[in-house]
């Protein structure tokens, strides 16, 4: 199941790279893909996520109250703040899904990268 989910994320990233080859967020999405490809590894792997965070800060200038901005702050919070995800309370049942906050933060940032690569129809200027 996890392998098929990772493959789906990889395919979506490759399709986005094909459609937007000159976009700098392709690199950010790829780095985030590497970060959540190994969710059970040590927490220090998430240090590489600071590069995509810097790219997203540059891209989201002044738009922190938008949907992408709020998801950005939530994703950063889940990655950076040391949450008690190793608690024995999270080992059984559905609560085990809460044991991966850094993974969910990385997936949220990855979604922002892919969403910001789409052209915004409201911002296009057509000259006649």
DSSP 94: G
Structure tokens, 35: 């970060």
Q: Is residue 128 part of a domain?
A: no
Distance CA 36, CA 125 (A): 37
72 pLDDT more than 90: yes
Instruction: Give me the pLDDT at residue 4, please.
Output: 83
Instruction: Sort 45 into a burial class: Cβ within 10 Å, 0-12 / 13-18 / 19+.
Output: middle
Q: Say what the pLDDT of residue 123 is.
A: 47
- Mean pLDDT, all residues of the chain: 79
* Selection from 60, 78, 62 nearest residue 116 by Cα: 60
Please tell me the total count of domains within the chain: 1
* pLDDT for position 89: 64
**111 and 75 Cβ atoms separated by less than 8 Å:** no
Could you tell me which residue, 6 or 40, shows the higher pLDDT?
A: 6
Residue 85 lies in a domain: yes
The boundaries of the domain holding residue 94 are 2-117
More confident residue, 34 or 123: 34
**Between these two residues, 125 and 55, which has the higher pLDDT value?**
55
Long-range contacts of the stretch 95-101 (C-beta < 8 A, 24+): 100/39
Q: Is residue 106 part of a domain?
A: yes
Residue 9 lies in a domain: yes
Residue 98 lies in a domain: yes
Task: Establish if 64 belongs to a structural domain.
Answer: yes
Q: pLDDT tens across 13-68, in order?
A: 888 888 887 788 888 888 888 877 775 556 677 788 888 999 999 888 888 788 88
Do residues 79 and 46 lie in contact, with contact meaning Cβ atoms separated by under 8 Å?
yes
Claim: this prediction has a pTM higher than 0.85:
no
Give the model's pLDDT for residue 74: 92
pLDDT at residue number 70: 92
Is there a domain that residue 99 lies in? Answer: yes
**Residue 91 counted as domain residue:** yes
Report pLDDT for 13. Answer: 87
Which of these, 122, 108, 119, 121, lies nearest to 56 by C-alpha position? 108
């Amino acid at each position: 199941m996890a392998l098929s989910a990772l493959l789906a994320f990889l395919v979506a990233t490759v399709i986005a790279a094909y459609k937007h080859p000159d976009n700098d967020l392709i690199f950010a999405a790829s780095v985030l893909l590497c970060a959540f490809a190994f969710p059970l590894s040590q927490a220090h792997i998430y240090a590489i996520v600071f590069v995509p965070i810097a790219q997203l800060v540059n891209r989201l200038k002044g738009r922190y109250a938008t949907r992408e901005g709020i998801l950005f702050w939530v994703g950063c919070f889940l990655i950076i703040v040391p949450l008690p995800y190793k608690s024995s309370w999270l080992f059984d049942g559905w609560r085990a899904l809460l044991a991966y906050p850094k993974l969910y933060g990385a997936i949220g940032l990855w979604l922002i990268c892919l969403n910001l690569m789409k052209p915004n129809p409201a911002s296009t200027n057509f000259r006649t």
